[in-house]
Amino acid sequence: MKGFQGSFDKLWGYANVLRYGASHVRDHGSIVLVSGSPARKPKPGQIALSAVGGAVEALARAIAAEIAPKRVNVVSPGIIDTPMVALSGEDRAKHYQNVTKTHLVDRAGHPAEVAQAIIFAIENDFITGTTIDVDGGWLVAQ
């Protein structure tokens, strides 16, 4: 249970950023939060990730109307090849091949692809309260 509670530190961090930081964002400015694909389609063992990610996405939708005309959106990455996976070489390649084999794009994403979505959310003045999926088709795969 302690690990589950610890996962919610992300939510409280975002809540505090919004509470104390939103007033410092210019009108029509943008705040982008990050959740993750388990928020809407968890795999076994991802209960805490799913619950926290879902809460982050709900928070963004709820607060969008409260802080308008400032905008708040969420970027939801799927499996992204980052240093969080300590494997290297062929073991790393096999790991990512295994965890993405059912995705429509059968590879892990790259951090730059997530960054592009964040930049899109910042630059597009016509989106707020939405979630942008960068997940290689995780959500729609069987």
So which residues are the catalytic ones? 35
Which strand (E) or helix (H) includes residue 89?
A: helix 89-99
- Termini Cα distance of the chain: 30
Please give the structure tokens belonging to residue 46: 């991802």
Compute the distance between CA of residue 36 and CA of residue 131 in angstroms, rounded to an integer: 10
